[in-house]
Amino acid sequence: MNTKEDNILEEIRNLSVSERRKISYEELKEMLPKLSCDEIIEMCGLIGYPVFTRLCMGEIGHQFVLLQDGAAAIIVNSDGQILLQKRRDNDEWGLPGGCQELGESFSEVILREVKEETNLEVDHLQLIDVVSGMSRKNAYPNGDVVINNTVLYYIDQYHGELKWDEESKELRFFDLEQLPEEDKQNDPDLIKVYKKWRENNETRR
């Protein structure tokens, strides 16, 4: 990979997602000193911040337990059902959402992720809670382990045609009483937080 100062970012833009994730530690050591802080932030966005972090760790990257910040959405239809996506990487049902990139606010994270993963445009966001701790520990199929700090939002105002991207096998609305079995869910802790929040709101009415 050519790393001349004037075309580093352009070359990364032209790589596929899988090629970006295979940039070596040695290549990064050569590239990063030639880039400004703003250019490094742009590079993080192109590669994905968690992946970029692991690449910068070299050979120990996949052994390191990474703390990730991100957001997830409880998207509710007019029947009170919640939207789940069947993930392609682990075949489990989870909430739309993802990791925070450098420079993003959490509201920007969820607006971007909902658009990418569901094709929906969000009209209004409501904060449910910030969920952290060991219930947010997750292991990926490649062996990477992370512990997520997740800002959970409630969305019942949105528009657009529901479509899923390459990360998902399916998108489907579920009744809260007819969710997939918990061992088939990716975010059972977040759904429990939502149920408690919903019950508290109904009690106050």
Q: Model confidence over 85-119: pLDDT tens digits? A: 998 888 899 999 999 999 999 999 999 999 999 99
Whether 108 and 50 share a structural domain = no
The answer to whether residues 73 and 114 touch, using CB atoms and an 8 Å cutoff, is yes
Whether 196 and 137 share a structural domain = yes
Q: Mark the ranges of the chain whose per-residue pLDDT is less than 50.
A: 2-3
Residue 173 maps to a domain = yes
Residue 96 maps to a domain = yes
Whether 50 and 131 share a structural domain = no
Residue 3 maps to a domain = no
Which domain range does residue 13 map to?
8-60
Count of the separate structural domains present in the chain: 2
Residue 167 has a pLDDT of 82
What is the pTM (predicted TM-score) of this model? Answer: 0.89
Whether 158 and 91 share a structural domain = yes
Q: Which residues are catalytic?
A: 170
Domain boundary (45, 60, 75) is at: 60
The answer to whether residues 97 and 83 touch, using CB atoms and an 8 Å cutoff, is no
Whether 132 and 192 share a structural domain = yes
The answer to whether residues 63 and 90 touch, using CB atoms and an 8 Å cutoff, is no
Whether 78 and 178 share a structural domain = yes
The answer to whether residues 154 and 128 touch, using CB atoms and an 8 Å cutoff, is yes
Q: Among 122, 124, 120, which Cα is nearest to 160's?
A: 120
Residue 1 maps to a domain = no
Whether 165 and 191 share a structural domain = yes
Whether 117 and 20 share a structural domain = no
Domain boundary (60, 82, 101) is at: 60
Whether 80 and 114 share a structural domain = yes
Residue 13 has a pLDDT of 93
Whether 75 and 44 share a structural domain = no
Q: Among 63, 58, 64, 60, which Cα is nearest to 29's?
A: 58
Cα gap 135→120, rounded to integer Å: 28
